[in-house]
Copies of this chain bind each other. A is one copy, B any other.
Amino acid sequence: LDYQHVQVPFEITLWIMLASLAKIGFHLYNRLPSVVPESCLLIFVGLIMGGIIYGLNDKSPPVMDSDIFFLYLLPPIVLDAGYFMPSRPFFENIGTILLYAVVGTIWNVFGIGFSLYGICQVKAFRLQDVSLLHNLLFGSLIAAVDPVAVLAVFEEIHVNEKLHILVFGESLLNDAVTVVLYKLFRSFCEMPAIKSVDVFAGIGKFFVVGLGGVLVGLTFGMTAAFTTRFTKDIRVIEALFGFLYSYLSYLTAEMFHLSGIVAIIACAMGMKRYVEANISLKSHTTVKYFMKMWSSVSDTLIFIFLGVSTIGENHEWNWPYICFTVIFCLIWRALGVLVLTFFVNRFHVNTITSKDQFIIAYGGLRGAICFSLVFLLPDFHRKKLFIAATTVVILFTVFVQGMTIRPLVDLLAVKRKRESAPTVGEQIHIRFLDHLLAGIEDISGHWGQYYWKDKLEYFNSKYLQKILLREYDQPKSSIVLLYEKLERKHAIELAEAGQLGHAPSHPSLLNNDRIVITDKKLEDTLNPDVLENIQEILARNLYRIRRTGPAYNRHTLPGETEPVEHAKEILILRHKSL
């Protein structure tokens, strides 16, 4: 037996296998996932495993390595989040999201830090040796909302799109703030004296970290798009480039101490439309499927490791400090959301309701990022206290808040996500209004959101597409395309019903003289990809079936909902018309 030789890959494979089997296990009992969020169950599995390891070895099980977390487990999740990010609601609410992510996080860091310092002054708690700087450092790591935890819970409760994007966007973009504040306080802790110039350098650094991340991400994203222009002859590896470039953007950003999360999101959002247009449908299915798969596995592993790492002797249980941490996290977040939303609502017509505010405050879950950051702290005598407090905050938010948020959403009757996709009519009207508003902004000289969107779209179609897309065509008239697709669809239905050649139910508008161009058309249309596309367009626009799946769920691929329902509805419509 030569275990040493294969140890590393063998153990990695076994962990992934365990995670996947745990996932299968939960879904075998349908009622379980509908009551308890998967993240709780996975932490629970981790706790049990950690207990077993602890019991067998009589020493603490290995904690999750921060390097493994930041280099290997986090990027797939963020990549998936960025790639499937609904860009319209994101950019519509970018101002609010940034306000929550930047000002809100800073508010929380200082709020929690200073109030914990206040608690430390109470003699009865025996915490006088924890300095203000250490409290602020702790605040900087505990304040940030965690994207992994938020995703895991919010994708199961299906709140409305705006609410979802506000919490989720904040959790992603606060990374820049967390990185800066955490590193700032950590270096302050090691400095003998702090000058005011250091504080200003820290504030300046925030812009560098955030905007630098965006720049790195966009550069890699555009390079990825450009590379896929040339992959026509090697279809088999073209799916790889999307992953390679986004991962490189993350690593490059981390290397330069920029925000890796912001970089990978910018990369994914930037490259998406070009890469999608360049690569084949099969490659694209693989890209999408693999992203979902990878992020799902990472996510599972993170929660299991979180559970495993909780068991052990790394903790110092000073209960007053721990309890006040939990309380301050809740209070300062609630206050922050209230104050910030007050300002946001003054400048927006479409306000955030008080119910939404409650869910935003309550949805501020903490997760594996804080956990990894607390282990990265430099060694000092109260590190174990911080580890204990972080663990309790994470478990409290994931278990208590994560499990009660769904009943609360039901109870408050928070506006849910619209379950059907917009109809053709709605889409046309939305586009029309966009153009109109862009025109109004242009005339009034106000450079608002629509103005920039219009300019960006113009720049995209004028320059970017020509450089980045392999086959750049002027868009065809979509109404003609739709009609052709409908005609084909109808023919299939006739054949299904066995009526072909017996009772043509409505005359074709396509004339015989079309035959002369059939050769060209056949090329475009006989292709199975096109047929699949028809299905999708029809299902989306014409029959407007109530979709059972949510629009962006991390565990299913878009369009994976069963076509059975659609088919039934089509049949009913046909029967009525006969």
Contacts and interface: CB of A to CB of B under 8 A. Distances in A.
Given A1-B256, A13-B244, A239-B289, A492 B492 contact: yes
Nearest to A504: B501
A494 B1 CA distance: 66
Interface string A420-460: 00000000000000000000000000000000000000000
A102 B268 CA distance: 51
Contact of A488 (B27, B235, B495): B495
Interface stretch (A140-148, A302-310, A407-415, A553-561): A553-561
* Most interface-central of A27, A231, A252, A501 (chain B CB within 10 A): A501
Contact of A297 (B240, B296, B521): B240
A502 B491 contact: no
Tell me the dominant secondary structure on chain A's binding face.
Answer: helix
Interface string A273-315: 0000000101101100110110011000000000000000000
Contacts of A58: none
Contacts of A570: 522, 526
Interface in A27-75: 27-28, 30, 67, 71-72
Interface string A245-261: 00110011011110000
A508 B497 contact: no
Contacts of A498: 487, 508, 510-512, 514-515, 518
Contacts of A557: 235-236, 282
Nearest to A75: B9
A463 interface: no
A452 B289 CA distance: 39
A532 interface: yes
B504 A500 contact: yes
Contact of A71 (B9, B236, B244, B285): B9
Greatest chain B CB density within 10 A among A230, A236, A283, A492 is at A236
Contacts of A8: 71
A235 to B, nearest CB: 7
Interface string A515-531: 10011011101111001
Contacts of A227: 21, 24
Contacts of A566: 526
Given A13-B247, A24-B231, A285-B282, A515 B527 contact: no
A517 to B, nearest CB: 9
Contacts of A482: none
A573 interface: no
Contacts of A23: 234, 237
Contacts of A256: 1-2
B236 A27 contact: no
B535 A532 contact: no
A528 B563 contact: yes
Nearest to A553: B236
B236 A293 contact: yes
Contacts of A339: none
A5 interface: yes
A3 interface: yes
A501 B506 contact: yes
A557 B238 CA distance: 13
A6 interface: yes
B10 A248 contact: yes
B526 A563 contact: yes
Contacts of A16: 240, 244
A293 to B, nearest CB: 5
Contacts of A528: 528, 531-532, 535, 563
A499 interface: yes
A345 interface: no
B248 A13 contact: yes
A502 B512 CA distance: 9
A216 to B, nearest CB: 13
A378 interface: no
A535 B528 CA distance: 7
Contact of A17 (B3, B244, B285, B512): B244
A484 B479 CA distance: 31
Interface string A213-250: 00000000000000100110111110111001001100
A6 B512 contact: no
Given A16-B240, A240-B16, A523-B564, A518 B531 contact: no
B519 A568 contact: yes
7 contacts: A1-B255, A2-B257, A5-B67, A8-B71, A491-B492, A522-B567, A523-B567
What 3 pairs between A and B have smallest CB-CB spacing? A501-B504, A498-B510, A491-B495
Given A8-B71, A20-B241, A498-B508, 13 more contacts: A2-B257, A9-B71, A10-B251, A10-B252, A14-B248, A24-B227, A283-B289, A497-B514, A501-B504, A501-B507, A526-B535, A526-B567, A528-B535
